[in-house]
Amino acid sequence: MAEGSRESSDAVRISVEEAGVLQGFRADYPWQGSRSRRFLQIGNAVCPPLARLVVAALARQSPGRGGGER
């Protein structure tokens, strides 16, 4: 079988819940729609750990908004 083939016998399929957890979402996150749509939502989402870091960095840079000046 060619390298990178979709028919690889080594491929492991993961559930929607597993994909969400790998991206940093809680296992019971309420994804909506068909299985394909739920995977699309997970793939397009900003993972929660990264979102927390971005918000914290922005808060530190915004004077008078919980960070910066005290």
In angstroms and rounded to an integer, the radius of gyration of the C-alpha atoms of the chain is 18
Tokens of residue 50, six digits: 């990264």
12-58: pLDDT as tens digits:
999 999 999 999 999 999 999 999 999 999 999 999 999 999 999 99
Q: What is the pLDDT of residue 62?
A: 79
Q: Which residues contact 11 (CB under 8 A, 6 or more apart)?
A: none
Q: What are phi and psi of 63, to 5 degrees?
A: -65, 135
